[in-house]
Chains A and B, each alone.
Chain A
Amino acid sequence: MNLEKVIFAFFSILALTLNYGFFIGELDDPTHHNVYELFAALVVSLIATIMKFGDRAHIGALLLATSLVADLQLIAAAMVWGYVVYVAESPLEPSVMSSIVSLSGGALLANLTSVILLVVESVTFRR
């Protein structure tokens, strides 16, 4: 039982699930998408990315790349939200909400790829 691998997989999959949780629901309805879940998804995604640092294998590089993509999309979603509501001080319209959720949808795909790669790496791992 390798504790490091458990934690690694835990954070990767947690990032995926939180991301999916935020994404699911009507695209432009703000009541379906909780800001706390976006926050949690972003934080866990960042932690999952940091855990992927420093791996020199090819598949490790791919994992890091997908994680970085997910981070990028989630940060973009958060920044759009923050800008529209607090900088431009306009209400959260459906068009804006759909942009935010779309970006998180992109991050979802990246996280999904990351988890698939993780599974592939585990399956092909030979002791």
Chain B
Amino acid sequence: MHNVISLVLRRMRLPLILLISTYAISVLGLTLIPGIDDQGNPWRMDFFHAIYFVSFLGSTIGFGEIPYPFTGAQRMWTTFTIYAAVVSWLYAIGTILTVIQDPGFRRVLAFQSFVRKVRRMREPFYILCGYGDASRLLVRELSERCIHCVVVEKDREKIEELAIEDLLDYVPGLSEDATNSDTLIAAGLNRPNCRGVIALTGDDHSNLTIAITSKLLAPDVQVICQSDSKDSAANMDSFGTDHIIDPFEIFASRFAMMFHSPSMYLVYEWMTAVYGAPLSDFKRPPTGTWILCGFGRFGKAVRKFIAIEGVKTRLIEADTEATGAPLDTVVGRGTEANTLLEADIQDAVGVIAGTDNDANNLSILITARYLNPGLFTVARQNQQKKDPIFKAADIDLIMQPGTIVAQNILGLILAPLLGDFFRLTRNQNEEWANVLVSRIAGVVAEITPETWELEISPLQAPAVFDRLIRQQKVLLKDICSNPKNRSELLPCVPLLIKRDGTGMLLPDMEECVQSGDQILFCGHQKSTYQIRYIVNDQRALYYMQTGVDRPGGAVWRWITD
């Protein structure tokens, strides 16, 4: 991008020349035209006084005729000077204002300012492409945890919304096309502290382009993409995208889990939900025939996953040709009573409103509930700003693609071990999940738990590491007990220890930690501070292990030893 100053200067050439010429001609005229002094003798103004006079004339101050009253000729020249000078000034100032307000100029300014801000960032940051619902939530959560990010979004209005948002951390925004590699480089793709690129533009092709550009220009940077179809997901996977998130598949698989394994569903929900949200009332969906309105990506995914659970679905779809709906689909939107009746709504146990139109979804559910009050209602909410009306509709289960994407990405960023955890829990059964749920519920009362990781390394857990290299044992319970009362455990549950590539689920408190272990915890947020304190402070760890409070200073220690 061009130098901003040179752009301004070029536009200012003519006004400045005009200004200088006007002043020069006026000054020259005043020095040449003779005046008459108070004695009646002719007198000529010198350059110094001419410049002085024209200065206060041109700036419309107008002190007066110096040093003697002017002759007629002088006055005529002065009149000409007044108009010429003032008009030149107006022209020059007008040009400056036009240049500043020029949209191209402002774009250049905004771009350069953004590049400067990114260059000044010293801590790890993420690049978010696109500022939709998912991005908005993600930015808010990341800023509350003091993880830096920058946002690139094509739509100028959305970037302006970002600027107004009340965030804890300052998030620079750029309104340029993220699929352009220059834009990604300006956003800091090649900088060593860039931790990841997150593509949430809402258009699969753009996400794909961003992923490829990222992988080619900066292969070490993590790439997380949202994908809305199997094809693009496979495409993204083929060149090594680190994580691909399909909100519809995720929701559908979790929803299916609710049928046969509600505790497992709770485990997944709690691990990915935002900390501090109240634990929602869990209602188990009944098995039977379900009515599914809308056979788009959402409808297809849901039908596929709950079919595995043995749940039959009756489809209602307005455009059966384009969506490839099977032959027994009822044609219609589902918003009218007769379409629902045609699909045997009175015999159904639940209804899923899965179209891409929020108003239709609400209408479907209200009509359905009117026809069959005992139905289990599931709705797809496309836009976050419709939150109040969806909440007021008292729906049993709401699916927001933006929220699902944001929560999953947050999990990937904050606790990468969650991926391993989910992989291992897939093989567990409902009883195991029940036990885990009751353990966690016992620890966190009524709010969703926080999940975090700890690595036994010199950087993150120096006190523990120190004891381990001296061949001394450190038990898990030493880390997890309350420093104020060591016989009591902190409100947290160690979920997983990853050691040498293998994972150990729900380790026992008597387990010995080893150096290099990565531990995944889940529990109350205040435990994070306590555990961090224990693993960093040698005295605290010693106290946890032995119950003896050793003196801190070297001198005192030598005295007491």
Choose one: B2, B7, B12, B47; the contact of A39 (CB below 8 Å): B47
CB neighbours of B16 from chain A (8 A): 50, 53
Determine, out of B20-28, B176-184, B507-515, B532-540, the stretch whose residues face the partner at the interface: B20-28
- B1-16: CB near A (< 8 Å → 1, else 0) gives 0110011011111001
Residue of A nearest to B11 (CB): A54
Asked whether any CB of chain A lies closer than 8 Å to the CB of B48, the reply is: yes
Structural contact, A51 and B47, CB atoms closer than 8 A: no
Report the interface size class on chain A: 10 to 19
Given contacts A56-B2, A86-B48, contact A46 B20 (CB under 8 A): yes
Q: In the bound complex, what is the Cα–Cα distance between A56 and B20 (angstroms)?
A: 24
Choose one: A39, A78, A86; the contact of B49 (CB below 8 Å): A86
Structural contact, A51 and B6, CB atoms closer than 8 A: no
Q: In the bound complex, what is the Cα–Cα distance between A11 and B250 (angstroms)?
A: 72
Structural contact, B47 and A54, CB atoms closer than 8 A: no
B257 to chain A minimum Cβ distance, whole angstroms, is 62
Choose one: B7, B21, B46; the contact of A86 (CB below 8 Å): B46
CB neighbours of A55 from chain B (8 A): 6
Choose one: B6, B11, B13, B48; the contact of A56 (CB below 8 Å): B6
Asked whether any CB of chain A lies closer than 8 Å to the CB of B17, the reply is: yes
CB neighbours of A54 from chain B (8 A): 6-7, 9-11, 13
Choose one: B2, B13, B24, B46; the contact of A43 (CB below 8 Å): B24
A107 to chain B minimum Cβ distance, whole angstroms, is 17
Residue of B nearest to A11 (CB): B17
- A25-53: CB near B (< 8 Å → 1, else 0) gives 00000000001100100010011001101
Structural contact, A39 and B27, CB atoms closer than 8 A: yes
Structural contact, A53 and B28, CB atoms closer than 8 A: no
CB neighbours of A86 from chain B (8 A): 46, 48-49
Choose one: B9, B31, B46; the contact of A53 (CB below 8 Å): B9
Asked whether any CB of chain B lies closer than 8 Å to the CB of A85, the reply is: yes
Chain A residues 48-103 with CB under 8 Å of chain B are 50-51, 53-56, 78, 82, 85-86
Given contacts A39-B27, A43-B20, A47-B17, contact A53 B47 (CB under 8 A): no
Structural contact, A47 and B20, CB atoms closer than 8 A: yes
Report the interface size class on chain B: 20 to 34
Given contacts A82-B48, A85-B48, contact A51 B17 (CB under 8 A): yes
Residue of B nearest to A38 (CB): B47
Choose one: B3, B7, B13, B31; the contact of A50 (CB below 8 Å): B13
CB neighbours of B47 from chain A (8 A): 35, 39, 78, 82
CB neighbours of B10 from chain A (8 A): 53-54
A84 to chain B minimum Cβ distance, whole angstroms, is 10
A35 to chain B minimum Cβ distance, whole angstroms, is 6
| Most-contacted residue by chain A among B2, B6, B11 (CB, 10 A) | B6
A44 to chain B minimum Cβ distance, whole angstroms, is 9
| Most-contacted residue by chain B among A50, A51, A55, A82 (CB, 10 A) | A50
Q: In the bound complex, what is the Cα–Cα distance between A47 and B18 (angstroms)?
A: 9
Q: In the bound complex, what is the Cα–Cα distance between A115 and B494 (angstroms)?
A: 79
A13 to chain B minimum Cβ distance, whole angstroms, is 17
A89 to chain B minimum Cβ distance, whole angstroms, is 11
Residue of B nearest to A87 (CB): B48
Q: In the bound complex, what is the Cα–Cα distance between A46 and B27 (angstroms)?
A: 15
CB neighbours of A56 from chain B (8 A): 2-3, 6
Q: In the bound complex, what is the Cα–Cα distance between A46 and B13 (angstroms)?
A: 11
Chain B residues 434-474 with CB under 8 Å of chain A are none
CB neighbours of B28 from chain A (8 A): 36, 39
| Most-contacted residue by chain B among A36, A53, A55, A56 (CB, 10 A) | A53
Query: Beyond the given A39-B47, A53-B9, A54-B9, could you list 16 further A-B residue pairs with CB under 8 A, ordered by the A residue number?
Result: A39-B24, A43-B21, A43-B24, A46-B20, A50-B20, A53-B12, A53-B16, A54-B6, A54-B7, A54-B13, A56-B2, A56-B3, A78-B47, A85-B46, A86-B46, A86-B48
A binding-site residues for B, Cβ under 8 Å: 35-36, 39, 43, 46-47, 50-51, 53-56, 78, 82, 85-86
Listed by A's residue number, 22 A-B pairs whose Cβ atoms lie within 8 Å are: A35-B47, A36-B31, A39-B24, A39-B28, A39-B31, A39-B47, A43-B20, A43-B21, A46-B20, A47-B21, A50-B13, A50-B16, A54-B9, A54-B13, A56-B2, A56-B3, A78-B47, A82-B47, A82-B51, A85-B46, A86-B46, A86-B48
Lowest 4 A-B CB distances belong to which pairs? A54-B10, A53-B9, A43-B24, A86-B48
